[in-house]
Amino acid sequence: MPEIKEFNENLYIKNIIPIIKAKNGLVTAGDIALETSYPVIHIKYVLNKLAAKYLAEMTPTENGDLLYKFNNQLKEVGKFGKIAKKIFNMLLDTFKFLFKIVIMLTLVIYMIFYILVIIALVLGLSAATDNDSDSDFGGDFVLGAGRVLFELIYNSMFFFSVDPYEKYRGAHKRPFYIRVFSFIFGDDEREKPFNHDNNILKYLKSSKQITLSQAINLTGLSEADTRAILVNMVVKYNGDIIVNDDGVIIYTFSELEFTGENNNSETPIYAWNREKLIPQLNYNRRGENIAIICFNLFNLAMASFLLFLYSETIPVADLILHADLEIFFVIIYPLVFSALFFIVPLLRLVRLKSRIIKVQLNNGSLRALKQFFDTDKTYTRASFIDNRVKEKIFLDYPNTFVHDFIEEKEIVNLKNYKSEMLKELA
């Protein structure tokens, strides 16, 4: 292969990937240099970029070199899942937006409307009794009110088009419609992504190098996710990855320059100081939720009652499939809406249980990290580290707690701990 003098990243990647595949994903910078005669500095840059993209592992060799372990096909891990999650979130946001537009209109206006329907039916029955004849007063009133209701909704579709949470962030003194939204969709906003790069940079300000275990202290993420962050930072900030004399992989950033002294705002935040709050279905008071349920139950009961009345003369299937606008907005729409009003929170409740377990496991593993890295005492088994947390730690950190500890007593204790976990998980 002819020598390429100028660094062309795309061309380097194109030529290096086949070599990685030919070696079953196991390569060093020296292997690539032997095949291509490319400068090592450029090879390491490309290998680090590919390692970040494909979540490659890195281990020290017996000679103190860095061995990159790629998956054989060089496929991006979890790419399909990320795309599917993004599409799902977009669809969910669209549904929430459209649902919020008519929530209050439907809940309150239909309640008023059905109260008028009850009055109309009572008056209609009274008129029929007084005149001793059949009267269509109640039915005509219902359909007429249905037309008015249709006009109200049609002309008010975008009344709630602005996200109300921007104005009302606190749990107290919230308008009724905010509490209704909370009942259906909950108050948990999507977690804002923590800036791990910035947090690690604060650590690097006092030391221009960091190990994987030290970075895990800061991120609280798994070994693979933390490694991906570090490798990305190496590429972004022109760093390097070396193996020291003890066989520990160190990420160095010698070209980073900082000015000034550290202050509180520039102190890194350790992961165990960022425990997550246990999510709740909503943050309304009990009485507020009961009032909202009663509102919707009334609408659901009235829509079901009117469906029953009309079904005596018109089959339910025909009523649903061939309904005109008045019937649709008087019976079918509020019936479906009122059902969704309860179905959505029930679905959230199912999902919430799994989220609670994840948050509890996350917080448990963060407390375990603090225990592991407490330099004032040797490791002791703690009562809060239950079997679920043990399994998560073992899966998330398969290598870190052995390779990145230097003091022998810590290595021995953690090796014994992993052996205990293996026996309990077997």
User: Torsion angle of alpha carbons 169, 171, 173, 177, nearest 10°?
Assistant: 80
pLDDT tens, position by position, 187-225: 766 667 889 999 999 999 888 899 888 899 899 998 888
pLDDT value of residue 30:
92
Label residue 380 by pLDDT band (50, 70, 90).
very low
Q: What is the CATH number of domain 9-69?
A: 1.10.10.10
Domain boundaries, the chain: 9-69, 97-188+279-345, 196-273, 373-425
Segment 136-146 mean pLDDT: 54
Report d(CA 22, CA 24) in Å as an integer.
5
Report d(CA 238, CA 253) in Å as an integer.
7
Evaluate whether 130 touches 310 at the Cβ level (below 8 Å).
no
pLDDT value of residue 264:
57
pLDDT value of residue 337:
86
pLDDT value of residue 319:
60
DSSP 323-376: --HHHIIIIIHHHHHHHHHHHHHHHHHHHHHHHHHHHHHHHHHHHHHHHHT-TT
pLDDT tens, position by position, 92-111: 777 777 777 667 667 777 77
pLDDT value of residue 278:
87
Average pLDDT over the chain reads 76
Segment 127-154 mean pLDDT: 55
Which residues lie below 8 Å from residue 35, measured CB to CB, with a gap of 6+? 1, 19
Report d(CA 135, CA 193) in Å as an integer.
64
Only one residue has tokens 């890194």, namely: 268
pLDDT tens, position by position, 231-265: 999 999 989 999 888 788 899 998 888 776 655 56
pLDDT value of residue 26:
92
Right CATH for 196-273 from 1.10.10.10, 3.40.50.720, 2.60.40.2700, 1.10.3720.10: 1.10.10.10
Evaluate whether 200 touches 215 at the Cβ level (below 8 Å).
yes
Evaluate whether 58 touches 68 at the Cβ level (below 8 Å).
yes
- Using DSSP, state whether 210 is helix, strand or coil: strand
pLDDT value of residue 74:
74
Q: What type of residue sits at position 8?
A: N
Segment 314-339 mean pLDDT: 74
DSSP 63-132: TSPEEEE--TT-PPTTHHHHHHHHHHHHHHHHHHHHHHHHHHIIIIIHHHHHHHHHHHHHHHHHHHHHHT
Percent of the chain at pLDDT > 90 equals 16
Give CA angle at 216 (377, 413), nearest 5°: 35
User: 241 has which bridge partners?
Assistant: 251
Label residue 158 by pLDDT band (50, 70, 90).
very low
Label residue 165 by pLDDT band (50, 70, 90).
very low
Residues counted in the chain:
426
Label residue 5 by pLDDT band (50, 70, 90).
low
Q: Is the pLDDT of residue 385 over 80?
A: no
User: 57 has which bridge partners?
Assistant: 69
pLDDT value of residue 162:
44
Q: What type of residue sits at position 309?
A: L
Give CA angle at 284 (278, 286), nearest 5°: 105
Domain 9-69 identical in fold to domain 196-273: yes
Q: What type of residue sits at position 229?
A: I
Q: What type of residue sits at position 187?
A: D
Segment 164-174 mean pLDDT: 52
pTM of the model: 0.66
Q: Cα-flanking dihedrals φ and ψ of residue 255, to 5°?
A: -85, -5
pLDDT tens, position by position, 274-294: 988 888 888 888 888 898 898
Q: Which of 325, 263, 339, 257 is nearest to 297 (CA)?
A: 339
pLDDT tens, position by position, 23-40: 989 999 999 999 988 999
> 23: which 2 tokens?
């070696």
